[in-house]
Amino acid sequence: MSGEQEEEDFSFTEIKLPTYQKLINGTTNNHFPSIITSKKTLNLTDFINTIQQQKPWLESLVHMNGALLLRGFPVYTASDFNQVVEAFGYDELPYVGGAAPRTNIVGRVFTANESPPDQKIPFHHEMAQVPEYPSKLFFYCEEEPGNGGETPIVLSHVIYEKMKVRFPEFVEKLDRDDLIYTRILGAEDDPSSPIGRGWQSTFLTKDKSIAEERAARLGMKLEWTENGVKSVMGPIPAIKYDKTRGRKIWFNSMVAAYTGWKDGRNDPVKAVTFGDGTPLPSDVIHECLKLLEEECVAIPWQKGDVLLIDNLAVLHSRRPFNPPRRILASLCK
């Protein structure tokens, strides 16, 4: 059954909103992200049933375009959002090894990064600094921002291709030597920091020996200090090959770590290095940051929005905002 036939049979329709969509390179009709709304008024049960019925078509849009925004549907609460996530049928990924402070709300739904609203969260692939990362991310707008607070997204293969042209020697070394990420964690979560997740919630235990076991399973080394622990991850690839799409991707948190992993414990310049321990060139990192901004589209949130991101295809970030703003998230294997 073709995509057009599926749209005829069910309640969803794909729309174009050029102010925050881009045509994907080399195509005439593939927009990033795909945006879906309803042809008619649906209740939550109808919405859930339609997701399940149209899952192959929805997944084809995500595979083709990298991200899917569901707008104008009856998703009013965190519990509603949890049902939407469940309807897609992906397994949950436990949030072990991630840096952002998060709070479980209901079921498999957590707060998104709880760092202060005046702080920008730089571009990254979710949990790219650890070997076990989500394949899919869901975000949900429970409360619209007062001002700002957009979620910029950008296609990873585009960044790889353009960085390879602009900085071929840097990309060659990055592909060869990988990256090392270093972060100092306190015991408790620090909500004032964008990387303020303490070691107890990072490894879901208060037992240091269990934390060491769980870190070791991720390939992470822990060095205990008087006030916390130093975690060292890597060398870990910064460039991956996306087998499902047959292309290389810029799969790392390099810019995020180098420009954003800053708090009372951490110096961002020391947070990420080449895999051989040599420092990253500051000028190239900031040129990469500019490129990410140039190529991105920024999603302005509306209450009830659900954004599904393929974590192998898309980097995301967060712009500063004036409260209120409440975005929830769910991570999938």
**What pLDDT sits at residue 10?**
55
**Ordered per-residue pLDDT tens for the chain, 333 residues:** 333 334 434 589 998 887 889 988 766 678 999 999 998 899 999 999 999 999 999 999 999 999 999 999 999 999 999 999 999 999 999 887 777 778 899 999 999 988 889 999 999 999 999 999 999 999 999 999 999 999 999 999 999 999 999 999 999 999 999 999 999 999 999 988 989 999 999 999 999 999 999 999 999 999 999 989 999 999 999 999 999 999 999 999 999 999 999 999 999 999 999 999 999 999 999 999 999 999 999 999 999 999 999 999 999 999 999 999 999 999 999
> How many helices and strands (H and E) does the chain possess?
11, 22
Token match 């769980």: residue? 214
Backbone angles phi, psi at 26, to 5 degrees: 85, 5
Apex CA 232: angle with CA 253 and CA 98, to 5°?
A: 50
Token match 């909103």: residue? 17
Q: By CB neighbour count within 10 A (0-12 exposed, 13-18 middle, 19+ buried), where does 307 fall?
A: buried
Give the DSSP letter of residue 127. Answer: T
**Among the listed residues 293, 323, 272, the one whose alpha carbon sits nearest the alpha carbon of residue 129:** 272
pTM for the model stands at 0.93
The Cα 133–Cα 333 span in angstroms is 7
pLDDT in tens, 181-221: 999 999 999 988 989 999 999 999 999 999 999 999 999 99
The first and second tokens of residue 188, run together, are 């408790």
Backbone angles phi, psi at 322, to 5 degrees: -100, 130
Q: 69-92 burial by CB neighbour count: b if 16+ within 10 A, else e? A: bbbebebebbebbbbbbbbbebee
> What's the one-letter identity of residue 149?
G
pLDDT in tens, 111-141: 998 888 999 999 999 999 999 999 999 999 9
Handedness of CA 202, 206, 210, 212 (dihedral sign): positive
- Kindly give the pairing relationship between strand 314-318 and strand 136-143: unpaired
The answer to whether the CB of 183 falls within 8 A of the CB of 223 is: no
**Among the listed residues 237, 220, 137, the one whose alpha carbon sits nearest the alpha carbon of residue 185:** 220
Half-sphere exposure of 148 (CA within 13 A, CB side): 12
**What pLDDT sits at residue 74?**
97
The first and second tokens of residue 12, run together, are 């969803």
